[in-house]
Amino acid sequence: MAEPLKTFFNARLVERLATALHGASKSFPRETFVREASTGLEGHELLGRARHISEAMHRALPRDYPGAVDVLVRSLGPELERTEGSGMEVFFYLPHVLYVAEHGLEHFEESMHAQYALTRRFTAEFSIRAYLERHPEKTLARLRQWAEDKNVHVRRLVSEGTRPRLPWAPRLRAFQKDPKPVLALLELLKDDPELYVRRSVANNLNDIGKDHPDVLVQVAKAWMKDAPPGREWLIRHALRSSIKRGEPAALEVVGAGKPSGIEVRATALPKRATLGGTVDVRFEVANRSRKSQALVVDLAVHFQKANGAARPKVFKVKALTLEPGQTEEVGKRVSFEQLTTRRHYPGPHRFEALVNGQGMPLGVVDVTG
């Protein structure tokens, strides 16, 4: 079994961090920092460990923030050469980001410089949010400049850091209420040459759509006009949650209207399954109408909860176009493995196909322990 992610922040990491900071400033109290950062570390979860190290760093660095953050920046290692696939290693800089968010709010320029450097090695999406709340106009103006930066990680920060519902971070309530300042930034990035950035833009729009579905659809319609392939992918990805919810306006943007004369039939759906196992679901989608239809096909599984209730989770299956009389078989593998993010319970699980948001029953699988 893989070790929990929190174990990344361990005594060895503290030693590495002490070496880097001492290399940037010979007056950095290395032994004191190692002792304080290591003591009690194992009693915290992942974010708690990073915060524990960050506070030890704060006590060890110079008392004046400009001097302290200068040491921090000079201690940084090489910039990222890839956009993805770095794993946990980049989280080495999470304590640095937390330090800037917690202690640098009254030193705007020094903190912007630090975050500009940090996001090229990790990400400053967590710390920039504190500045958007304390200094909204100045921070938005800086992000507008960074939207045209030559570094892909800096450009991604513009969209990722302004996500109203960024995972692991406090929500940006002001942008949940009024997303217009964020949309102005996303407009600058919608045709970014890097998928890494466009995916972030799509995720930001997806966040906005959870609070303002009408705004998401308006933006999607406007961006879809003469959209190059990269932007069209972005729009479809931004609409994914709206499409899973079966919102007609979102489905219309991707050319999937209300289905007519569509039938589904399960071709492979076991009657029983076990916790920890998987279920391979196959079903046919048939167009019995006299017109060609663009279809977005998803699979909804109504998972049993601990209290006996059932709650659906929607899995993407396929987007397809069926001509009159045409039938196509599609499928999905569903796992009942116990995860930290999703627990499974025995009982009947209802499966249904969602075709352009319309639920069509496939059958029930009895899951046993």
List average pLDDT for each run of 10 residues in the chain, which is 369 residues long.
82 97 97 97 95 98 97 97 87 97 98 98 97 98 98 98 95 97 98 98 97 97 96 96 88 88 96 95 97 94 92 92 96 91 91 94 95
- How confident is the model at residue 227, as a pLDDT? 95
CA distance 56 to 95: 10
- CATH 1.25.40.290 is the classification of domain 5-253: yes
pLDDT in tens, 160-198: 999 999 998 999 999 999 999 999 999 999 999 999 999
Please say whether the beta carbons of 303 and 310 come within 8 A.
yes
- How confident is the model at residue 216, as a pLDDT? 97
Do 262-368 and 5-253 have the same topology in CATH?
Answer: no
- Quote the percentage of the chain above a pLDDT of 90: 89
- How confident is the model at residue 105, as a pLDDT? 98
Pairing of the two strands 310-322 and 358-368: unpaired
- How confident is the model at residue 83, as a pLDDT? 87
pTM for this model (two decimals): 0.84
CA nearest to 281, candidates 320, 333, 329, 327 = 333
Instruction: For residue 141, give every residue at least 6 positions away whose Cβ sits within 8 Å of its Cβ, in sequence order, or none.
Output: none
- How confident is the model at residue 369, as a pLDDT? 86
Please say whether the beta carbons of 46 and 53 come within 8 A.
no
Instruction: Fill in the DSSP letter of residue 177.
Output: H
pLDDT in tens, 278-292: 999 999 999 999 999
CATH code, 262-368: 2.60.40.10
Radius of gyration of the chain (CA): 25
- How confident is the model at residue 86, as a pLDDT? 82
Instruction: Fill in the DSSP letter of residue 265.
Output: E
What are the residue ranges spanned by the domains of the chain? 5-253, 262-368
- How confident is the model at residue 19, as a pLDDT? 98
- How confident is the model at residue 2, as a pLDDT? 58
